[in-house]
Structure 1
Amino acid sequence: MIIPSIEPTQDSALSAALDAAINNKTKPPGSLGILEDVAKQVGLIQKTTQPRVTQPSILVFAGDHGIVAENISAYPQSVTWQMVENFLAQGAAINVFARQHKCALHVIDAGVNHDFGTRPGLIDRKVGSGTRNFAQKPAMTAGECAAAMQHGMALVASLDGNVIGFGEMGIGNTTAAAAIMHKATGIPVADCVGAGTGLSVDGIRRKQGVIEQAVAHHATVIAPLDILSTFGGFEIAMMAGAMLKAAEQRMVLLIDGFIVTSALLLASRLQPAILDYCVFSHCSDENGHRQMLNFLDARPLLQLGLRLGEGTGCALALPLLQAAVNFLCEMATFESAQVSEKAG
């Protein structure tokens, strides 16, 4: 498998031109806060002082996890396929928010333990009917992991538009993400584990114990692709591949919550420059996400107490991304509005 090559967005001349354009708008310098940083970031990604958001889309990858056999979820595995059905029926939160913001939504079966048949609106890229139980053996073979990543790359290559948001659905995937977080960052497992879909204190403690035993069992796993295949899910691997391809194509990557960021942690180990292309939509209430963001030196746009997944944070952040490029392209300058600049 060939990992996409990603160029850093650094460009000193364009950076200076963007700073000048932003500072010449009819406002005090810095008064639009993080939106100014986002406008500059998107300009650098698109290599222009006039960036645009065109045909944004959100990809929701669904997959099941063998680790649910260890009783680490408040919900049964069947909820994964039932929620995919809800996506297809346009009834989930992500459907509502994507529709509200006129954002295309693509639902992908990366590896759900259910036979959907051929369904309108469902992209079938099933690598397997759920991963193996990583408490006992690697979740995926190296070949399965590579196949999932390649599917993600191909999906992105087939899309129009220059902004992609990433979402997921998979009972058990916060356990996979917590294990990935620990292996990728060295942060103690206790600080990586959260309630997921709503575990009790005892449930969280059990989940922590399962992960600690699993990482001890796979103690020699260090390389990012090995971490992904050992602890990840088909949906997480497919997201990682999609992210790498999107950055190679100089798209803006809207990053959702805990599980999506776990995929990015490993993608960034493979190609560190991918972070130049990432806009972090929000800080999740799932325990560990704040530390993930701190590890990546990321500033999220929103903090709403979300922990749903599905790409909902991406959909909610999309209007802010749009606002950032709009002010840069459409807001008057001091000269055009005949407004006096700051004295001195």
Structure 2
Amino acid sequence: MTFYSSIEAFAAALADLREPSADAAADARVRQGELTKPAGSLGRLEDLAIFFAGWQGKARPRIDRARAAVFAGNHGVTVHGVSAFPPSVTAQMVANFANGGAAINALSAAAGLELTVVALDLDRPTADFTVAAAMSETECLDALGHGAAVVAADLDLIVLGEMGIGNSTAAAALCARSFGGAVAGWAGPGTGVDGQGVARKIAVIDRALAFHAAAPRTAFETLRRVGGREIAAIAGAILRARQLGIPVLLDGFICTSAIAPLAAENPAIVDHCIAGHCSAEPGHKRLLAALGLDPLLSLGMRLGEGSGAAVAAGIVRSALAAHDRMATFAEAEVSASL
């Protein structure tokens, strides 16, 4: 199946977003009030259960099948020394994923997630976006389609992550073009560059934004001009998940930056998304605030790969287990006056 075969198809999908079932969410809220606990005593676990009920269309949602999808891509902007590691590391890490040796392998297994890794033309980096669009229209549509293709219709949850040397620079550029503000507020150390490295990133992003200033500020144009293949793929997965009514767990700054251009065009795109965690990358907290997303965890993580979101998937499973398996006051013959 071909997804987003044209710019118009992508724009149309973003403009016409599926809504959750208000009735199922209301039924789940009623059930929460009947469970053997004081009202509200499970905090955000209760909210998560109601959220999933709305998207699954049933009062007692479950996660029978969940997938972690990690997309990898390389970036031409690395010619400006914006990363602490060379682009060859992207392919090396993809090989590590394939061999089962990365953090996401361990964490996805612990969370009961299938793991899918999609490498996108690693031998052909995107263009240097300070002097050209990172991707052609065809390349961007292809990346969006690769992302959409991993979202199987029978999934109950999808966890998204990325790998790509240089992609924290692309992420900061996407956020700055989508939400404005000083680039210095979006750009951080990424893989561990020093203060001079961060200053280079800021200068590179400023040049890129100036170069593309006259271009349309649509979601598609922002993604293709200053994004990357793996980030565009995440955007495609997010949009496809919305079409299918599947909740999304977002990882860190780079993963979440994929939704920034979409949200700038249609803020409702975030409604089926959960921020798995707030990473240590400085721009992530600012981005989550701009999107109106409250992260489940804050563990000082900044690895990427979908690692933080995979950890958060365990929280989601706990929320739904409590909601589904707890007895009601009537079933347990417990007084409802707790």
User: Normalized against structure 1, the TM-score is what?
Assistant: 0.91
Write the mapping of 1:157-176 to structure 2, written as runs, cut at 5 A.
157=152, 160-176=154-170
Aligned to 2:40: 30
Deviation at 1:15, TM superposition (A): 3.3
Contact 2:218 2:265 in 1 (8 A): no
Amino acid at match of 1:223: T
CA distance in 2, matches of 1:90, 1:48: 36
* Match for residue 101 of structure 1 among 111, 131, 134: 111
Q: Does 1:342 align with 2:328?
A: no
What's the C-alpha RMSD, in Å, of the aligned pairs? 1.4
Quick check: 1:239–1:260 contact (8 Å CA) kept in 2?
yes
**SS of the residue 1:288 aligns to:** helix
Matched AA of 1:72: V
Please name the residue that 2:278 is paired with: 283
Give secondary structure in 2 for the equivalent of 1:111.
coil
- Provide the rounded CA distance (Å) in 2 between the counterparts of 1:9 and 1:104: 25
Q: Cα offset for 1:10? A: 5.5
- Give runs of aligned pairs for residues 1-344 of structure 1, distance below 5 A: 1=6, 2-3=9-10, 4=13, 5-9=16-20, 11=22, 13-113=23-123, 129-157=124-152, 160-221=154-215, 222-342=217-337
Residues 23 and 29 of structure 1 are in contact (CA less than 8 Å); yes or no, is this contact kept in structure 2? yes
SS for the counterpart of 2:20 is coil
Is the 8 Å Cα contact of residues 57 and 163 (structure 1) preserved in structure 2?
yes
**What is the CA distance between 1:34 and its match in structure 2?**
1.0
The share of aligned pairs that are identical, in percent, is 41
Mapped to 2, the partners of 1:22 and 1:50 lie a distance apart of 10
Report the 3-state secondary structure (helix = DSSP H, G, I; strand = E; otherwise coil) of the residue aligned with 1:58.
Answer: strand
Compute the displacement of 1:195 (Å): 0.4
Measure the CA separation in 1 of the matches of 2:30 and 2:137: 48
Q: Which amino acid aligns with 2:336?
A: E
Contact 1:267/1:274 (8 A) holds in 2:
yes
Q: What amino acid sits opposite 1:145 in the alignment? A: C
Deviates more, 1:142-151 or 1:39-48: 142-151
Give the TM-score of the pair, scaled to structure 2.
Answer: 0.93
Cα distance, 1:152 vs structure 2 = 1.7
Equivalent position amino acid for 1:200 in 2: D
* Pair 1:266–1:247, CA change in 2 (3 A): same
Structure 2 CA distance for partners of 1:106 and 1:245, relative to 1, 3 Å: same
The gaps in structure 1 that reach 5 residues or longer are 114-128
AA aligned to 2:329 is: F
Q: Secondary structure at the match of 2:285?
A: helix
Q: Would the aligned equivalents of 1:166 and 1:254 in 2 still touch at CA under 8 Å?
A: yes
SS in 2 for 1:261: helix
What are the superposed Cα offsets for residues 283-338 of structure 1, whole Å, 9 maximum, x if unpaired?
01101100111111111110000100000012101111111111111111111112
Shift of 1:102: 2.6
Instruction: Say if 1:38 and 1:279, in contact at 8 Å, map to a contact too.
Output: no
1:197–1:169 distance in 2 versus 1, CA, 3 Å: same
The residue that corresponds to 1:126 in the other structure is none
Deviations along 1:199-243, whole A, 9 cap, x unmatched? Answer: 101111111111112111211232211110100001111111111
Aligned mates of 1:230, 1:163 — CA distance in 2: 30
* Residues 171-180 or 103-112, more deviating: 103-112
2:100 partner SS: coil
Q: Aligned partners of 1:293 and 1:205: how far apart in 2?
A: 23
Aligned length: 326
How far the C-alpha of 1:267 sits from its partner, in A, is: 3.0
**In structure 1, what is the Cα distance between the partners aligned to 2:275 and 2:53?**
16
8 A contact 1:7–1:273 mirrored in 2 = no
C-alpha displacement of 1:101? 2.4
Q: Encode CA deviations 1:127-163: one digit per residue, 9 max, x unaligned.
A: xx11000011110111211111122222324x64221
